[in-house]
Chain A
Amino acid sequence: DVKVTQSSRYLVKRTGEKVFLECVQDMDHENMFWYRQDPGLGLRLIYFSYDVKMKEKGDIPEGYSVSREKKERFSLILESASTNQTSMYLCASSSVRSSYEQYFGPGTRLTVT
């Protein structure tokens, strides 16, 4: 079974704090993704990575950065958290070998106060 884990299920941070969200997958997938999910807006892609140290911007990268130093780990960084970044953050991974089916982690509910 594919397993994607995220470092926290719930997180509360203050405005201006630097926030790290970590994601680990155990299936040797090449691709990893960070999404945010908001009511009425669906899943929106923030960043993705198709290889170690490679990254590409998604649809809403502003205010975020990412790091992929190892194949299994993909980190999302909020450089200076703001209240409009309160959301559910979902990590996913996929493989070219499995026709790009994406497998998701359980999500991190981030609240910025």
Chain B
Amino acid sequence: EDQVTQSPEALRLQEGESSSLNCSYTVSGLRGLFWYRQDPGKGPEFLFTLYSAGEEKEKERLKATLTKKESFLHITAPKPEDSATYLCAVHPITGTASKLTFGTGTRLQVTL
């Protein structure tokens, strides 16, 4: 069974304090891994897609990386507006082509 585990469940950082969020996954084969940001009371917003080990993607203060077993979302010098829940999802090669399996997310709070 495909599984996605995100850690930590919650993270509190001070403004400027860099850190990383982890997404470990177990799939028989990976078609793609996705990162989303979700603000309270809103739908998830797409951030990145990663396809193969060693790949990296960047957007402002966020950088996502991928290995064969996990992905990291690095947040450099975060600001309060980066506070949100970050979701990871995998698209396995096997099974129904369109389905994603989501983790339960990391709640990030950045304080002044």
Contact = CB atoms under 8 A, between A and B. Distances in A.
Interface of A: 4, 31, 33, 40-43, 45, 48, 50, 56, 58, 90, 92, 94, 99-107, 109
Interface string B88-107: 01010000111110111100
A104 B100 contact: no
Contacts of B91: 100
Nearest to B103: A42
Chain B facing A: main interface SS:
loop
Chain A facing B: main interface SS:
strand
Nearest to B6: A42
Given A48-B99, A100-B100, A43 B87 contact: yes
A105 B42 CA distance: 8
28 contacts: A40-B104, A42-B87, A42-B102, A42-B103, A42-B104, A43-B44, A45-B99, A48-B96, A48-B99, A50-B98, A90-B43, A92-B43, A94-B98, A99-B51, A100-B31, A100-B32, A101-B34, A101-B46, A102-B100, A104-B36, A104-B44, A104-B46, A105-B43, A106-B42, A106-B43, A107-B41, A107-B42, A107-B43
B83 interface: no
Contacts of B104: 40-42
Contacts of A56: 96
A74 to B, nearest CB: 13
A31 B102 contact: no
